[in-house]
Amino acid sequence: MVLLAGTFAFLANRHHDQQSQLIRVSGIPSSISTPLATLMALSPVPAKPAPDFTLTDQNGRTLSLSSFRGRAVVLEFMDTHCTDICPIISQEFIDAYRQLGTAASHVVFVGVNVNGYHAAVSDVAAFSREHRLNTIPDWHFFTGQVSDLHSVWSDYGIVVQAPNPTADVVHSSFTFFIDPNGNERYLANPTDDHTASGAAYLPAGPLASWGRGIALVARSLTS
């Protein structure tokens, strides 16, 4: 009886903890389930203009963020030499694009380089090819002068630590959802898991859920 009582107490406490973790944040699009919003750490942000910038993408085109007005923008900060979370986010973006369907032409996927040691157009182009991001028609991996990149990181509150060219770049990882009027609307916090050897991965279920979630949030901004 003592053992059973302890088991029931453990299950009750675990259920309570799970329920507390699934409290729905007000303002989340109705198409996003509470478990999915929790997985993404998705939250609405006060609608304000997303800081504009002008940088050069993987195809050598110099564009501004404001040039995408009229379409929703999914914005992430990525390392051109990343072997950790950035490749996972790349797959999530590809999955999201595929799930957008007819709404895909109304959504732009944008990356901003956080690696000041590897900031050439050839670096963002190589990363885009390696991780098949170029299969997204409206994918732009931006880079530029390191001083310009620093300004963009600062404007979006991205912390970057890169002590030397061969060190791992440690940086904030947030996904910004920007509406067609150029206003920030939602923020998500990508995560990954690691094997015993330290290799980054994300199980198939959460990986697919992230792709679906990105697509649903982006679609909600286009309707």
Span 33-89, pLDDT tens digits: 999 999 999 999 999 999 999 999 999 999 999 999 999 999 999 999 988 899 999
CA 39 to CA 141: how far, in whole Å? 25
How confident is the model at residue 22, as a pLDDT? 64
Q: Up-side HSE of residue 66: CA atoms within 13 Å toward CB?
A: 5
Span 92-106, pLDDT tens digits: 999 999 999 999 999
CATH code, residues 31-222:
3.40.30.10
Do residues 200 and 84 touch, judged by C-beta distance below 8 A?
yes
Span 111-168, pLDDT tens digits: 999 999 999 999 999 999 999 999 999 999 999 999 999 999 999 999 999 888 887 7
DSSP state of 36: H
How confident is the model at residue 38, as a pLDDT? 95
Q: Count CB neighbours of 186 within 10 A.
A: 24
CA 170 to CA 155: how far, in whole Å? 18
How confident is the model at residue 9, as a pLDDT? 39
At residue 170, φ and ψ (nearest 5 deg) are -100, 125
CA 92 to chain centre: 8
How confident is the model at residue 218, as a pLDDT? 98
For the entire predicted model, the pTM comes to 0.88
Span 154-210, pLDDT tens digits: 999 999 998 888 877 899 999 999 999 999 999 999 987 888 887 887 889 999 999
Mean pLDDT of the chain: 89
How confident is the model at residue 192, as a pLDDT? 77
How confident is the model at residue 74, as a pLDDT? 98
How confident is the model at residue 4, as a pLDDT? 35
How confident is the model at residue 122, as a pLDDT? 98
How confident is the model at residue 21, as a pLDDT? 56
Span 3-26, pLDDT tens digits: 333 433 333 343 334 444 567 778
* pLDDT > 90 fraction of the chain, expressed in percent and rounded: 76
